[in-house]
Amino acid sequence: MLTEKLTSTIDQPAVTLENFRLSDEDLPEFRDMKFEDINQLALDHPGASDEEYRERRDYIARLAKRFRETGVITDVDYSPREQRVWRYVAEELEELHQKHASPFYLKAKKDLGITTDRIPQLSEMNRRLNELAGFRLAPIEGLVETRSFLSWLSYRVMLSTQYIRHHSQPAYTPEPDIVHESIGHIPMFTNPNFADYSQFIGHGARIATDEQLEQLGRLYWFTVEFGMVEEGGGIKAYGAGLLSSFGELEHAFGDEVERRPFDLEQVINTPYDYSDMQSILYVVPSYSYLKDVTRKYIESF
Ligand SMILES: [Fe+2]
């Protein structure tokens, strides 16, 4: 059981942030993982009343479920329509990325073989990510509650959906999809400092009180999802919520957004609104700075 296994690992005092490298046998079980509403699409989902889309999404979600029993990632045979959605979004984003994305991210995307031509398979990105940073991907069928989701990062595992957003609104998705995961999140995990940072958050999630967990959620939000960094002589985006949405990315560099220097104490106490464009964003001086201040913070738990 996931919860029991995590609890029992938390009780072991020998795990510190320095030696926090676990073997495969330490991975908690996937089988009993709890999901939020995995069988229902919210009414505001653009595909909610499209029977064919729902069936397709559920089919791809079932492949993820199979992974939890077999440990093998099944490639998805994406349809021409799904590939068209990808090409449209990926091409639009590519242009903005050249202007606004972190140079590290741009290189990482290339290294992982993520192109505008076709939807990348989790299996191939997983192989490369593992070689480059000892990070892995695990397909999941939908949203997981915060503590579980973040806790998996402590095992250097990112949970990732495989289905793609509805074709009627390619610029928008109310839930994570393969565009958000592979264009937004996956490339950054090839950065050793960012990967370690993510792992620290995961470790924190396993030992956090509910209040600390809420703070970790904010830290995750303002960095992994909406983070900006001083890189290559300017301010660049590295957060997945920015990199996977042209609306958010353009908005982030506009006049209505206050871009503040990253201050951990302030970030963990700043509430966010996930249903609207961001009005405050935080800029880290470097990924190693982010890692170092977070290490100290988690060690104070
Ligand atoms: Fe995300």
Ligand 1 mean position, distance from CA 245 (Å): 11
The reply to whether CATH 1.10.800.10 applies to domain 2-299 is yes
Residue 200 confidence (pLDDT) above 60: yes
The pLDDT of 271-282, averaged and rounded, is: 90
For the annotated catalytic residues, the residue numbers are: 180, 185, 225, 244
Determine the pLDDT at residue 29. 55
| Mean per-residue pLDDT over the chain, rounded | 87
Instruction: Please indicate whether residue 274 or residue 179 has the higher confidence score (pLDDT).
Output: 179
Tell me the β-bridge partners of 260: 282
Instruction: Please indicate whether residue 162 or residue 72 has the higher confidence score (pLDDT).
Output: 162
Q: Which pLDDT band, with edges at 50, 70 and 90, does 199 fall under?
A: very high
Ligand 1 mean position, distance from CA 14 (Å): 31
Ligand 1 mean position, distance from CA 254 (Å): 22
Count of CB atoms situated within 10 Å of the CB of 272? 16
Determine the pLDDT at residue 3. 33
Ligand 1 mean position, distance from CA 222 (Å): 11
- 148 CA to centre of own chain: 13
Determine the pLDDT at residue 162. 96
Residue 110 confidence (pLDDT) above 50: yes
Determine the pLDDT at residue 20. 46
The pLDDT of 269-291, averaged and rounded, is: 94
| Percentages of the chain per state (helix, strand, coil), in multiples of 5 | 50, 10, 40
The pLDDT of 114-135, averaged and rounded, is: 95
The residue ranges of every structural domain in the chain are 2-299
Per the CB < 8 A criterion, the answer to whether 230 and 206 are in contact is no
- pTM, whole model, 2 decimals? 0.89
Q: pLDDT per residue over 243-256, tens digit each?
A: 999 999 999 999 99
Ligand 1 mean position, distance from CA 216 (Å): 14
The pLDDT of 275-298, averaged and rounded, is: 95
Determine the pLDDT at residue 69. 78
Per the CB < 8 A criterion, the answer to whether 29 and 1 are in contact is yes
- Taking CB atoms within 8 Å and a gap of at least 24, the contacts of 49-54 are 50/166, 50/168, 53/166, 53/167
Percent of the chain with pLDDT over 90: 71
